[in-house]
Chains A and B, each alone.
Chain A
């Protein structure tokens, strides 16, 4: 079975600081991994996805994530936070089944 753990339900950073959102997964088959962002009262928008090509994946809005099989991790980073990055971020995994298994989410706050 597949599962996702997101460490830290709330993360707060200063504008211009590094953003690091943690995601660890469990999968009995080679995983495909996704990061989605959800702004208030909106649906989820794909930031990036790992589908077994390059382990460093670049996404929209300056975000990137690195797939580390040995650590079963897929952490999301951005070098410099912007106020508009404040949102909820979800890590998700698919594996042997054609459905997304989401983590509980991390709410990112960016303060001036």
Chain B
């Protein structure tokens, strides 16, 4: 069974440029998560989807970040414009449901460097 797929794996951009990350969850998983992992820290949730609906986006900086999960499968996370402080790893995870006992399966992440 394929795991969570993310692309690109690495991205280098100039500040103020836009950037987008893509995630394909494990087949059949209804719940999808985007996490931000700063260097030397644990991941922090940005947004959680149940199918197409964003049910927890309280930590998403909505002035520059946006996300979508059309058709309840793939998801895209966008930053526009990027700032120096956005340099981090962006992790996507999925679980079969959003239950609190459910295991979340993580992708390899996209490492973003903003210059």
A interface residues with partner B (beta carbon < 8 Å): 4, 9, 32, 34, 36, 41-46, 49, 51, 90, 92, 94-95, 97-100, 102-105
Of the A-B pairs whose beta carbons lie under 8 Å apart in the complex, a sample of 15, sorted by A's number, is A36-B106, A41-B111, A43-B3, A43-B107, A44-B43, A44-B93, A46-B103, A49-B103, A92-B42, A94-B101, A98-B56, A98-B98, A99-B56, A102-B42, A105-B41
Nearest CB of A to B25, in Å: 12
Asked if B108 contacts A43 (CB within 8 A), the reply is: yes
B48 CB → nearest A CB, Å:
6
Number of interface residues of B (CB under 8 A): 25
Q: Are A94 and B43 in touch, CB under 8 angstroms?
A: no
Instruction: Verify if B26 is at the interface (C-beta below 8 Å from A).
Output: no
Within 8 A of A (CB), among B11-67: 33, 40-45, 48, 56
User: Knowing that A46-B105, A100-B104 are A-B contacts, what are 8 other residue pairs whose CB atoms are under 8 Å apart, sorted by A's residue number?
Assistant: A34-B103, A36-B106, A46-B103, A46-B104, A98-B99, A102-B43, A102-B44, A104-B40
Contacts of A98 in B (CB 8 A): 48, 56, 98-100
Inter-chain CA distance A32–B91, complex, in Å, is 21
Distance in Å from the Cβ of A102 to the closest Cβ of chain B?
3
CB distance A90 to B101 under 8 Å?
Answer: no
Contact of A99 with B48 at beta-carbon distance under 8 Å, contacts A104-B42, A105-B42 already known: yes
Contact status of A45 and B106, CB under 8 A, knowing A98-B56, A100-B45, A105-B42 = yes
* B82 CB–A CB distance under 8 Å: no
User: A95, B109: Cβ atoms under 8 Å?
Assistant: no
Contact yes or no, A99 B106, CB < 8 A: no
Chain A residues, Cβ within 8 Å of B104: 46, 100
Q: How far is the CB of A90 from chain B (nearest CB, A)?
A: 5
